[in-house]
Amino acid sequence: MARVGVFVCFCGANIADFVDVPAVVEEAKRIREVKFAIDYKYMCSDPGQQQIRDAIVQHRLTSIVVAACSPRMHEKTFRKALSDAGMNPYLLEVANIREHSSWVHQKDKKAATAKAADLVRMAVAKSIANEQLHEISVPVTKRALVIGGGIAGIQAALDIADARIPVVLVEKSPSIGGKMAQLDETFPTLDCSQCILTPKMVDVASHPYIELIPYAEVLELDGFVGNYKAKIKKKASYVNFKTCTGCGACWQKCPVKVPNEYNMGIDKRKAIYTPFPQAVPNKPVIDARYCTMLTKGKCGICSKVCEKGSIDYKMQDEIIEREIGAVVVATGYDLWDPKPYEEYGVGRFKDIITSLEFERMVSANGPTNGVPVRPSDGKVPKNVVFIKCIGSRDEAKGIEYCSKICCMYTTKHTILLHHKVHGSHSYVFYMDIRAAGKGYEEFVKKAQVDTGATYLRGRVSKIYKKGDKLMVRGEDAQIGQVVEVEADLVVLATAVVPNKDNPDLARLLGVSYDKYGYMSEAHPKLRPVETAKAGIFLAGCTQAPKDIPDTVAQASACAAKVCGIFAGDTMKKDPMISTVNKEFCSGCQNCVTVCPYGAIVTEEVPMGHGSKEMRTVAKINEGVCQGCGSCVAVCRSMAISLAGFTDPQIINEIVSI
């Protein structure tokens, strides 16, 4: 027989002014199972909680109902009071008589009191069906997987590793560094990108807690938070990294020249190459698409010149498996292809380039030694037109969102142009200048003064060729006139788009993604780095366009979250999750289909006691289940129950009114 204790709170005047609290207590006492009922001014205060603790012992109570404020407010407080008295904390039910009665029926005390009594009756009925629940502890593998070795991945990996947690950093290309390694200087302070990035890259390579796996991709991720198993494909590099010293003899002698991705195809690299001089690891790889030894079986020069004999043309892809506790996804971004802007002559006019091409040209280690040149004739441009929002904020041709970084890097480009080309002039066509960020507005203002750049608010309608110049026709909305600018070079600030592999990777990880391909955070404001899948976190442009400071901040936030998971040997989890009664499960697997977390798998159990015949039943992975109850409602055989919200509990509430 259940022995329920009911504790009704005055909440000062908050409840007592509008609900007849003693009457509620009297009403509660009339319920057969209620063995003790009392009111108090502030149930949540220490003396209030002491009354609960005392009554539990004195009256041998089996469940507790506190009629007070919303359970979202003080459920945890009262649960703790129960545990302090040696009672299972989940035997508590809260009747919400403040938010749901006294505060919303202030004009009718009688009705509010009757409703409060009903709410207490419902809570008592539910509490009778409450079960003792225990926090679930899930063992964790203390190793993090970071996917992507750009600044986001580097920062996350370093922060996690500094907490002495092993990190596996997987990078798709031969070197870490990402897009940031291609940048010259960074806004708004104009510090050299390489100078601040390369020390971090070296730290990654030398960190005892980081296992760097370059030139590799994640193939599979199975399991759940704390217990993932990752399958990683290490692509064949055809160079033995263990023996290679990175001397560079191979790529110097290689006869095959191909466009250099690092320099946006402005110059050439070899078929065996290191992406850039500061690459980490600084070991070359053979690009199997172009190497004639691999495609046609002819050449072999690199093998001949390699003193260490590190070249291995027979190398195969390698599959590596790692046990992982948490994942940080930092796959970065791509740039939007401006081809749809036909009226600008994109593709027809060589002297229209993208911002990243411009960035490479003005870089000290770039293909033109830091001086921008016109691709058509190699001359140094004097008048340069920068056009912003190419693809961004353009529903018709591109994407709807603002790419966030273009205003700032275009400002930076006007400064770089001003510094590198004497007597040059910048024209900037813009829609708005969005300079929200620490020091950003000041940076833009100062740049406008220092460079004397002409800012034209309006969209460019057409670009056409006049002699060897490009005529840029657009509207200056501020004077309401069409303007034409004679340009030597046109630079398009193309939109930021997610890495094209994002949707595939998201599916592989079981993370949702939006219509553009950005992976979705669990909550746009309050859980910005978590995904809906526990233990998988997002850093940088994987989630949305971001500049470097935001990316680094988010990466560190991911690291903090990962370290949180690894803080103990096991993870504590709310016990309010689903369980399957195997006896009743018919194995139809409809629950498997509806579970949003993939938490339900199947297992084979004997048909009957001692039977050799097997049947399939559902099994809930308690590490993954988040306790939504979708499976419970679709289980026709009532084989699944959700702790804390079982059928008997809810039905008891319904029938007890």
Partner 1 sequence: MEAAVNNQLVSIEKPEIVAPPDWEPVIIGILCNWCSYAGSDLTGTSRIQYPPNIRIIRVPCSSRVDPWFLIKSLQTTADGVLVSGCHPGDCHYISGNYYARRRFLVTKKLLNFVGFHENRVQFSWVSAAEGPKFAKVVAKVTEDIKKLGPLHLYKKENFEK
Partner 2 sequence: MDYTNQIREIASKLFAEGKIDVFVGYRMTGFDENQVPALIRDPNEVSKLVFTDKSVFNLTNYLKQDHTRNKRIGMVVKGCDSRALNLLLTESQVKRENLHIVGIPCKGVVDENGNKMQNCIECIFPNPVVFDEMVDGTPTGSEAPPYQVNTDIQNIAAMDLVERRAYFEEVFESCIRCNACRHSCPMCYCAKCCIDQETSTLYHGANTTSSAFHALMTWSLHLAGRCVDCRNCEKACPSHLPLHLLHKWNEQVIYENFQEHLAGVHEGDRGAFYKYSMKDPDDFIM
Nearer to partner 1, 117 or 302 (CB): 117
Whole-angstrom distance, CA of residue 555 vs CA of residue 204? 15
Write out the H or E segment, with its range, that includes residue 573. strand 570-573
Q: Smallest distance, Å, CB 586 to partner 2?
A: 5
Chosen from partner 2, partner 1, none, partner binding at 503 (C-beta under 5 to 8 Å by type): none
* 482 belongs to the binding site for partner 2 (CB under 8 A): no
Smaller CB separation from partner 1, 71 or 150: 71
Complex with partner 2: residue 268 or 584, whichever CB lies closer: 584
Q: Is 45 helix (H, G, I), strand (E, B) or coil?
A: coil
Tokens 């986001």 map to which residue?
Answer: 152
Rounded CA-CA distance 319/322 in Å is 10
For the chain, the C-alpha Rg in angstroms (whole number) is 33
Judged by CB, which is closer to partner 1: 368, or 578?
578
Q: How many CB atoms lie within 10 A of CB 259?
A: 12
Residue 253: closest CA among 295, 281, 291:
291
Shorter beta-carbon distance to partner 1: residue 458 or 629:
629
The nearer residue to partner 2, 102 or 641, going by C-beta atoms, is 641
Q: Distance (Å, rounded) from C-alpha 154 to C-alpha 171?
A: 10
Type of residue at 584: F
Residue 364 or 607 with smaller CB distance to partner 2:
607
Q: Which is nearer to partner 2, 279 or 595 (CB)?
A: 595
Of 207, 363, 193, 172, nearest to 285 by C-alpha is 172
Contact 362, 421 (CB under 8 A): no
| Nearest residue to 601 (alpha-carbon basis) of 586, 616, 613, 612 | 616
Q: Which residues are near partner 1 by CB under 8 A? A: 70-73, 96, 98-101, 103-108, 111-112, 114-115, 118-119, 122, 512, 532, 576, 594, 596-597, 626-630, 632-634, 642, 645, 647, 650-651, 653-657
Q: Which residues pair with 426 in a beta bridge?
A: 384
Question: 427 with 484: CB under 8 angstroms?
Answer: no
> Whose CA is closest to 324, among 236, 214, 211, 235?
211
* Sheet strands side by side (includes 318-324): 216-224, 227-234, 318-324
Spatial distance between the Cα atoms of 104 and 14, rounded to a whole number of angstroms: 11
Placement of tokens 């809260």 in the chain: 94
The binder of 72, among partner 2, partner 1, none, by C-beta within 5 to 8 A per type, is partner 1
Q: How far is the CB of 582 from partner 2 (least distance, A)?
A: 10
Q: Output 376 or 589, the one with its CB closest to partner 2.
A: 589
Query: At closest approach, how far in Å is the CB of 598 from partner 1?
Result: 11
Residue pair 282/293 in contact (Cβ under 8 Å)? The answer is: no
Which residue's CB is nearer to partner 2, number 302 or number 580?
Answer: 580
CB atoms within 10 A of CB 446: 14
Closer to partner 1 at the Cβ: 100 or 207? 100
The residue range among 6-14, 80-88, 424-432, 637-645 that interacts with partner 2, by the rule CB under 8 A, is: 637-645
Taking CB within 5 to 8 Å according to partner kind, which of partner 1, partner 2, none is near residue 84? none
454 touches 479 (CB < 8 A): no
Minimum CB separation of residue 516 from partner 2 in Å reads 17
What secondary structure, in 3-state letters, does 298-316 show?
CCCHHHHHCCCCCECCCCC
Q: Which of 199, 300, 637, 657 touches partner 2 (CB under 8 A)?
A: 637
What tokens were used for 387? 């056009």
Q: What binding mask, one character per residue, do residues 598-617 give for partner 2 by CB under 8 A, x or -?
A: ---------------x--x-
Q: Indicate the angle between helix axes 406-420 and 440-451, nearest 10 degrees.
A: 30
Only segment of 16-24, 75-83, 434-442, 635-643 that touches partner 2 (CB under 8 A): 635-643
Q: Tell me the number of residues near partner 2 by CB under 8 A.
A: 20
DSSP letter for 530, please.
B
The listed partner (partner 1, partner 2, none) that binds 584, CB under 5 to 8 Å by sort, is partner 2
Q: Could you tell which of partner 1, partner 2, none binds residue 576, using a CB distance below 5 to 8 A set by kind?
A: partner 1
Query: Which of partner 1, partner 2, none lies near 70, with the C-beta cut-off 5 to 8 A by kind?
Result: partner 1
Cα(534)–Cα(92) distance, rounded to whole angstroms?
Answer: 27
- Please say which residue, 452 or 584, places its beta carbon nearer to partner 2: 584
> Could you tell which of partner 2, partner 1, none binds residue 585, using a CB distance below 5 to 8 A set by kind?
partner 2
* Cβ 608 to partner 2 shortest distance, Å: 10
Q: In the complex, what is the shortest distance from the CB of residue 595 to partner 1, in angstroms, rounded to a whole number?
A: 10
- Binding of residue 657 to partner 2 (CB under 8 A): no
How many C-beta atoms surround the C-beta of residue 619 within 10 A? 18
User: ∠51-53-58 over CA atoms, to 5°?
Assistant: 90
Should residue 651 be labelled a site residue for partner 2 when binding is judged by CB under 8 A? yes
List the x/- string, 549-588, binding to partner 2 by CB under 8 A.
----------------------------------xxxxxx
The answer to whether 546 and 557 are in contact (CB under 8 A) is no
Partner touching 639 among partner 1, partner 2, none, CB below 5 to 8 Å by kind: partner 2
Shortest reach from residue 114's CB to partner 1, in Å: 7
Nearest approach, Cβ of residue 43 and partner 1 (Å): 17
Using the rule CB under 8 A, which residue among 13, 195, 594, 657 binds partner 2?
594
Point out which residues bind partner 2 (CB under 8 A).
583-590, 593-594, 613, 616, 634, 636-639, 648, 651, 655
